[in-house]
Amino acid sequence: MGKVKASEAVVKLFENWGIDHIYGIPGDSINTMVEALRKEESKIKFYTVRHEEVASLAAAAYSKLTGKIGVCLAIGGPGAIHLLNGMYDAKMDHVPMLVLVGHIPARLTGTDYFQEVNTVELFKDVAVYNKDITSAESFPAVVNQAIRTAYQERGVAVLSIPDDIVLGEISDNIPQLSTVFEKKNPGLVQNDLNDAVALINSASNPVILAGVGAKSAKKELRSFAERISAPVAITLPGKGAIADDHPNFVGNIGKIGTKPAYEAMKSADLLIMVGTDYPYAAYLPEGAKCVQIDIDPVKIGKRYSVTVGIVGDASEALSYLTEHTTPVTDRPFLKTCQNKMNTWWKWMAEDQDKKQTPIAPEALMSAISSISEEDTIYSVDVGTSTVWSTRYLKISENQDFIVSAWLGTMGCGLPGAIAAKQAFPDRQAISISGDGAFAMVMQDFATAVYYKMPLICVVLNNRQLSFIKYEQQSAGQLKYAVDFGDIDYAKFAEACGGMGFRVEKYEDLQPALEQAKAADVPVILDVVVDVDAAPLPGKIVMDEAKGYARFTAKSIAENHKLEKMPPMKTVVRRFL
Ligand code: FAD
C-alpha cells in the first residue's frame, strides 16, 4: 500500500465525483490544495477570477444550469468573506455547492494570527455542511460527506482547510472513497394521485402555476396543460418551464407578472402548483382548492392552503396526471385567458415598437431576442433589467433563463454567463444587467476574455439604480441617492481585450447586436437606455396606486423635480 498527500487524494476524489472545474483565487492558506489541483490541471480546470464573489456566483449559476455541484475556492479571511454572497445565492435557490476555503495552520488556531477568521462560525447560517479539516486521514471521507450532503440537501457544503494538515500523507487505498450517491425521488402515493385526478376532473377554472421545479419536466408540463386545457402561469425563475409563445401560457405572476396571469389566478377554482414555493400570497387565488406537486415534503402547504399534496418529482407526477385525467378540449375559461393574453401581447408589442432615442428597454429586449439562438442561455441580473428581461424576452423550451431569484443579488448576470460558457461552450450566453449591477462585478469581464469565452454582456446604461427609484416612488417616497456617473463600458471592454459597442441611438442597436453575435471574443454592449422607462407592474393594485399618488403629492409639496410619468394609457390599462 502506498502513501499519497491528503490534498492529492482529495483532488482525485473530486474527479471521481465528476468535478471538472473550480472558480477561485489562490493564496497562502489554500495553496497546498491549489498545488494538488495544478497537478491534475488537465482534468480539473481552474478559473482564476478577479473577485471571489464572482467565483461563488458562477459556481451557483453552474449548478442552476446543470444540476451538478458548483465548486469555488478562496483563501481564508478576506477571500472566504468575499465568497459569502454567491454562497447565499446557492443556499436560497437550493442548488448544491462545494466551497473550499483556506485556514491558518492548525497549530496556530486561536492565536489571533494574520487573517484568522473563524470560518465555521462565519458560515453557520449559510451552510448545510460546515467543517474544519482536522486530520489528513479523515480529509477524503469528510469531502465525500460534504458533497453528498450538498447534493442531498441542495445547499452549500464548506470545508475550512488548514494548509499544514492537508500536506499530511495518507494511505492511497481508502475504503470510504466511494462516490456512489443515489438520491431517490420520493415515490408517488396512489391515494394522493387519485384525489388530485378527481379534483382536476371536477374543476372548471384550473390554473397551473409552474416554478423552477417544473423546469425538469417541460414536456410533461406542456402535455398536462394541453390535456386539461388549463392556462399556465409561471414564477420568475420558472421562466422557460413552458415556451412564452405556447397558447396556454398566461405569463408570470407577481409584480413583474402579467395582467392575464393575475386575472386567471383571481378567477381560478383550482390552483395546481408544480415545483414552486412562490411566496406572494396576494397574487394567488382566494379560496380555491389546490393540488401541489413538490419533491420536498416540507414545501407542501407552506404558502397556500393545499387540498391535495403530491410529494414527488414533477415529471413523474405530471405524466401520471396527464394519463389519468379526463381530456378537455373546449374550456371557456382557457379561451377567456387566451383572449386576454392576445391583448396583453398586443400591448407588449406596442411597448417594444418604440423606435426612440434614448433607447426603450422594451425595444432593447426585442432586439436581443432577434439575435438569440435556438438554445441561448440568458443570465439575468437584478434590478429593472429583471423586469424587462422577464417580461419582454420571448424564450423557448430549449433556451435557459437564470437569475438570483431568492437572494436577489445584483451582480449575478456576468458570473452566470461565465458559468454558462464553461458548462456549454457551444451555446450562446447573454447576460443582461443594469449599469449598477454590472459595475459590481465588471472586473470579471477580463476573466471571460482571458479564458476565451465569447459571451455577450448587455448593459442597460441609465446611470441610475432605477429599480430602487421605483421602489421609492411606489412607497410614496422621493427619489434619493440612486444616481451615479457614467462609465463607458464599451471602452472598458476594449481595455480588457474584448469588444465593446456604445449604443446611443436606436438605429445603431440592431447592427451592434449583429456584430456582437458574430464576435469570437467577449462583448459588452453598452446601451444608453431611457432613464424614465417605468417598470410598471403587469397589474397595478390599489396599494401601488396609492403609493404613486402619495409620491406625486409629496413631490409637489416639497417642490421636488417631478419625474416623467409613464403614459396614462398604460397606467389605466394595467390598473383597471
Ligand atoms: P423556488 O422557491 O426555488 O421553488 C422551487 C420548488 O420546486 C421548491 O419547492 C423545490 O422543492 C421544488 N422542486 C425542485 N425540483 C423539483 C422536481 N424535480 N419536482 C418537483 N418539485 C421540485 N418571482 C415571481 O414569481 N414574481 C415576481 O414578480 C418576482 N419578482 C422578483 C423581482 C426581483 C428583482 C427578484 C430578484 C426576484 C423576484 N421574484 C419574483 C423571485 C422570487 O423572489 C422567488 O424567488 C420566486 O417567486 C420563487 O420561484 P419558485 O417558486 O419557482 O422557486
- As a whole number, the mean pLDDT across the chain is 94
Report the amino acid identity of residue 566.
Answer: P
pTM: 0.96
Q: Relative to the CA of 92, which ligand 1 atom is closest?
A: 3
Residue 177 pLDDT level (bands cut at 50, 70, 90)? low
C-beta contacts of 231-235 below 8 A and 24+ residues apart: 231/207, 231/260, 231/264, 231/333, 231/334, 231/337, 231/338, 232/207, 232/208, 233/207, 233/208, 233/209, 233/257, 233/261, 233/264, 233/265, 234/209, 234/210, 235/209, 235/210, 235/211, 235/276, 235/278, 235/405
How many of the other CB atoms lie within 10 Å of CB of 510? Answer: 15
The pLDDT, as a whole number, for residue 548 is 67
- Report the pLDDT value the prediction gives residue 42, as an integer from 0 to 100: 76
User: Is the pLDDT confidence value at 493 over 90?
Assistant: yes
Q: Answer yes or no: is the C-beta of 256 below 6 A from any ligand 1 atom.
A: yes
Question: Which residue from 278, 409, 412 has its CB within 8 A of the most atoms of ligand 1, so it is best to mutate?
Answer: 278
| pLDDT tens by residue, 395-405 | 999 999 999 99
Residue owning the nearest CA to atom 14 of ligand 1: 213
Distance 234 CA to ligand 1 centre (A): 9
| Residue among 4, 46, 115, 120 flagged as catalytic | 115
- Digit-coded pLDDT (tens) for 316-333: 999 999 999 999 999 999
Q: Which atom of ligand 1 is nearest to the CA of 235?
A: 25
Instruction: Please state the atom number of ligand 1 nearest to the C-alpha of residue 216.
Output: 18
Query: How far is the centre of ligand 1, averaged over its atoms, from the C-alpha of 8 (Å)?
Result: 39
Quick one: average pLDDT of 250-275?
Answer: 97
Q: Is 114 marked active-site?
A: yes
Average pLDDT over residues 219-229: 98
In this prediction, residue 276 carries a pLDDT of 98
Going from the Cα of 307 to the center of ligand 1, the distance in angstroms, rounded, reads 21
* pLDDT of amino acid 569: 79
Give the torsion sign (CA, 134, 135, 137, 140).
Answer: positive
Task: Decide if 382 is catalytic.
Answer: yes
Which atom of ligand 1 lies closest to the CA of 278?
Answer: 51
Q: Decide: 474 in ligand 1 pocket, CB within 6 A.
A: no
Is 467 a catalytic site residue?
yes
Does the active-site annotation cover 115?
yes
In the reported structure, the alpha carbon of residue 380 is separated from the centroid of ligand 1 by a whole-number distance in angstroms of: 15
Domains of the chain: residue spans and CATH: 3-171 (3.40.50.970), 190-337 (3.40.50.1220), 353-575 (3.40.50.970)
Distance of CA 524 to the CA centre of its chain: 21
Return the ligand 1 atom nearest residue 212 CA: 52
Reply yes or no on whether 128 is catalytic. no
Cβ(162) to ligand 1 under 6 A? no
Give me the mean pLDDT over the 224-235 stretch: 98
Write out the H or E segment, with its range, that includes residue 468. helix 466-474
How far is residue 295's CA from residue 313's CA, in Å, rounded to a whole number?
Answer: 5
Catalytic residue, chosen from 142, 207, 382, 529, is: 382
Q: pLDDT-derived band of residue 355, with 50, 70 and 90 as boundaries?
A: very high
Any ligand 1 atom below 6 A from CB of 405: yes
Q: What is the distance in A from the centroid of ligand 1 to the CA of 100?
A: 28
- Whether residue 99 contacts residue 24, with contact meaning beta carbons closer than 8 Å, is answered with no
Q: Can you give the pLDDT at residue 546?
A: 74
Q: Which atom of ligand 1 is nearest to the CA of 211?
A: 52
Rounded-to-integer distance, Cα 318 and Cα 313, Å: 9
- Residue 543's pLDDT band, with cuts at 50, 70 and 90, is confident
Whether ligand 1 lies within 6 angstroms of the CB of 299 is answered as yes
For the Cβ of 213 lying below 6 angstroms from any atom of ligand 1, the answer is yes
